[in-house]
Amino acid sequence: NITKEQFQTIQGMRRIITRKTSKNRVYIFSGLIVCGECGGRMAAHVNTNQESFYYNCRSHYFNRSGCQNKSNLGERRIEKYLMGTILKEMERRKVEAEKIFELQQSHDYSGEIAALKAKSRKLKDLYLNDLITLEEYKRDHDSFNNRIEALLKEQKNRTKPNFEKAEKILAQSWETAYSSLSQEKKQEFWRILIKEIRIYADKRIEYDLNL
């Protein structure tokens, strides 16, 4: 069962504007799904039996871009796929992010920054001794400074990937907790975890985590 902490985590997430029809329908993947072929936003619809939802490419059905993606993928199928792959995908992302972070940590820019500063000082001497023009001095000086600023910014922005929020949501027995959520809360749940879902003409599904 869902713990009090898990419940509070889901309840306390940022408020998401829920898209509804006149009959108060809530499409849980509304706004998240794009066409894998043309990149256009996919629209949500209700089946003729009024009991299930599906998504398709607006650009294809309205002939806006010549998109050939005529997939009509059901919401339950997408939901089942995400539930079956989200943990594995998060673990893959964690391993990938850790490797990138370790690689960044092993790359020390201090030597390159020192060399660029030395070149900048030498550049000033060349200008003062009339060996280069003012235009050449300004051009190269700006180039060196821009590179130094970029390297310093990259060093400063190195942060260890944090998966704590996602791990709390996807804790043990999360599927049971998820099944008890309302459509609105399910929509909020996926918006917290997923940045974008792509559906292709062969009905293949890909997605990016919101981490």
- Mean pLDDT for the chain overall: 84
Mean pLDDT of 73-80: 96
pLDDT band at 37 (very low <50, low <70, confident <90, very high): very high
Is 70 exceeded by the pLDDT of residue 15? no
Is 50 exceeded by the pLDDT of residue 14? no
| Lowest mean pLDDT segment, chosen from 33-37, 96-100, 161-165, 178-182 | 161-165
User: What's this model's pTM, rounded to 2 decimal places?
Assistant: 0.64
CA proximity to 211, closest of 199, 194, 196, 198: 194
Q: What is the pLDDT of residue 16?
A: 37
- Report the alpha-carbon distance of residue 40 to residue 64 in Å, rounded: 10
Q: What is the pLDDT of residue 7?
A: 57
- Cβ–Cβ under 8 Å, residues 42 and 200: no
For a pLDDT cut of 70, what percent of the chain falls above it?
Answer: 85
171 vs 79, higher pLDDT: 79
CA proximity to 67, closest of 208, 198, 206, 207: 198
CA proximity to 173, closest of 26, 5, 16: 5
Is 80 exceeded by the pLDDT of residue 22? no
